[in-house]
Amino acid sequence: MTASRGRTAGRFRLRSELRQRREEAGLTQEQAASEMEWSLSKLVRIEAGTVGISINDLRALLGLYGVRDPTRVDDLLALARTARQRVWWTQYRDVLSQPYLEFIGCEADAATIRYFHPTVVPGPCQTEAYARTVITNGGPDELPPDVAEQRLALRMTRIKELFDRPNAATLTVLLDEAVIRRPIGGPAVMRAQLDHLAALAARPNVRLGVIPFSAGFHPGLYGSFVLFEFADPADDTVLYVEQAQTQMVLRDRPDHVAEYERMFARLAAAALPARDTIALLKRATDELATSG
């Protein structure tokens, strides 16, 4: 185990370790909570990773579970400290859902990220003008201007943090051709967005692929998803699924995650090679220039 994880990966790993240690001790959640003189809901939230755990509480819990090896205890205490660190996106907690906050945390900690979207350019690849259009018009109701501005500021910070951090993640971004054909924000905004995608594709840590209309039906048409992998192989791959107004972060369903990994592999096989993807982006840009 390592203590070099980010806050979200650290919290995920700690919750997994604590659940495993409890099960090895032969205790149910109800029994462990009773022994600790906690409410059951407190232990459930700790094991779900929705709340942190204090160092004193963790020491007592590890004692209950019979974890006394000094190295193992120190590793788990380090995870707890990492999981309680303050992060920049907490300032936006009031305007974002809990699953989306977890999504941002995964994005900040991941070593490898795989995005697929059938309808719009994913957030980290958006220009500010494109992002403003999507955020302003992306929900069932028009957002209050102050909330829209906060979400736009968050997105721009996400992009900066993702691409400028020293250990930049490896990104694979797959898009349906519909994404580059729909002139979101108007021709000028969309041309700038397509140019931006081409520039991103030139980065050594980014692979961009477009699934052409000629591929016909493909499984990605059911909706967008993101797969996060972390530097430590001990940390499970996390799946984020977003459909309409529903957001889900799945980290305890390896069978479900594996299904989406197989789906992503099929989508990658259907995508145009890098050179053909760039050529398609240029054609789409030229067509927008003549239409707008």
Give pLDDT tens digits for 191-238: 999 999 999 999 999 999 999 999 999 999 989 999 999 988 888 899
Residue 1 banded pLDDT, cuts 50, 70, 90: very low
Report the chain's mean pLDDT, rounded to a whole number.
Answer: 90
Domain ranges in the chain are 7-83, 89-291
Of 267 and 292, more confident: 267
Mean pLDDT to the nearest integer, 43-71: 90
Write down the pLDDT at residue 200: 96
Write down the pLDDT at residue 11: 81
Of 253 and 110, more confident: 110
**pLDDT over 70, % of the chain:** 96
Write down the pLDDT at residue 292: 58
Residue 183 banded pLDDT, cuts 50, 70, 90: very high
Is 184 a residue whose pLDDT tops 70? yes
Among 213, 217, 230, 229, smallest CA distance to 261 is for 229
For the segment 74-107, what is each residue's pLDDT rounded down to a tens digit? Answer: 999 988 888 777 788 888 888 778 888 889 989 9
Residue 3 banded pLDDT, cuts 50, 70, 90: very low
Residue 6 banded pLDDT, cuts 50, 70, 90: confident
Query: Which CATH superfamily includes the segment(s) 7-83?
Result: lambda repressor-like DNA-binding domains (1.10.260.40)
Write down the pLDDT at residue 158: 93
Mean pLDDT to the nearest integer, 147-166: 92
For the segment 106-145, what is each residue's pLDDT rounded down to a tens digit? Answer: 999 999 999 999 999 999 999 999 999 999 987 667 788 8
Residue 246 banded pLDDT, cuts 50, 70, 90: low
Of 3.10.450, 3.40.50, 3.30.870, 3.60.21, the CATH number of 89-291 is 3.30.870
For the segment 271-289, what is each residue's pLDDT rounded down to a tens digit? Answer: 999 999 999 999 999 999 8
Residue 2 banded pLDDT, cuts 50, 70, 90: very low
50-59, 91-100, 244-253: which is most confident: 50-59
Write down the pLDDT at residue 52: 80
